Structure 1
Amino acid sequence: MTREGRVRAVPPALVPCVGRPPEPEDVAPMVIYLLGDKSRHITGQVYSVFGPKISVLSKPVEARSMYTTERWTPDSIEAHIDAGIGQEPFLSVFKEYDEAVNAAIEAEPAK
């Protein structure tokens, strides 16, 4: 048992949707862990954090790339990422969640 609760590895089909969108507070601990020395053995992995669920994705494929002649900076990434490589379509779980939220909002009576 950890301070955060029980941790188990389970197949994706057995994990129910958590019922809320991911928030920065959900993702930040994973980012901090991956930036630290204790994760230096991890390389080339793609992780997803969705509420209480952390997943590793299998066999990600490079779709597009962008290059620079200098080192990337946060500002240069911001300036080029949308036109340079863009984004892949939303994962279906996010799309389904967004559709459910939008439907619930539309169903609410006007105040």
Structure 2
Amino acid sequence: MVTTTSTKLSTILLGFRALSDPIRLQVLELLKSKELCVCDLCEKLDISQSKLSFHLKNLKEAKLVRSRQEGRWIYYRLNLSQFAILEGYLFQYQQFQDILSKSSCQES
């Protein structure tokens, strides 16, 4: 059985919480293809910069996105290593599929 440290569990929790909002999911969808600046994200999502900043802050705290500043603009990109951590956490539950399949066959 794989154990998860409280720090890692906290990171996982922040990640899934960040994924629970439709606007943040839209931001991530846009960032899948390329790095974008805040102005591009605002335009594509048709939301104000202040509203977008709130969502980007959540995504950054969850370590799902990274940012860099170029001049006066901030550019965002996906942090794929954090997605790998979330994927790894969910992957642990795949083992239950085999267990459940075997137990349902035995009950028949």
Q: TM-score, normalised by structure 1?
A: 0.29
In terms of fraction of residues, the more helix-rich structure is 2
In terms of fraction of residues, the more strand-rich structure is 2
